[in-house]
Amino acid sequence: MIVVTDPYRTGISNITGKMVRIRHATDRDLVTIAEYIDRHHVPCTLEDADAVVAVEEDRLIGFGILRRDGLTPCITIRELRPGSGLGPLIAGHMMEHAGPGQ
């Protein structure tokens, strides 16, 4: 039997042991992200943007914003649990789903 322990391959956090999912943001997630942006003065907006979240159970633990206004591309990644290694996973998901020329 092969046991996979690499959290990048299993999706299970090596910190908490819980499943972490990377997915497109829901309307509820967008409200949470907008509140975080306002509270922490993040230099990116959700206007003309796609957002991706990392969730552990039902709790948002990271997000990424890919703004597509055609003038100034903006990628913002926030790990709400720094050092968790979610940043590259969020960025990879955004780039994979951005489509050509985006």
Q: Look-up: residue for tokens 């050092």? A: 83
- Domains of the chain with bracketed CATH: 20-96 (3.40.630.30)
User: Where are the strands (E) in the chain, listed by range?
Assistant: 20-24, 49-56, 59-67, 74-79
Q: What pLDDT is recorded for position 33? A: 92
Per the prediction, the chain carries an average pLDDT of 75
What span, in angstroms and rounded, lies between the C-alpha atoms of 59 and 57?
Answer: 6
Is this structure's pTM higher than 0.85? no
Summarised one tens digit per residue, pLDDT across range 29-68 is 999 999 998 998 887 888 888 888 888 888 888 888 887 7
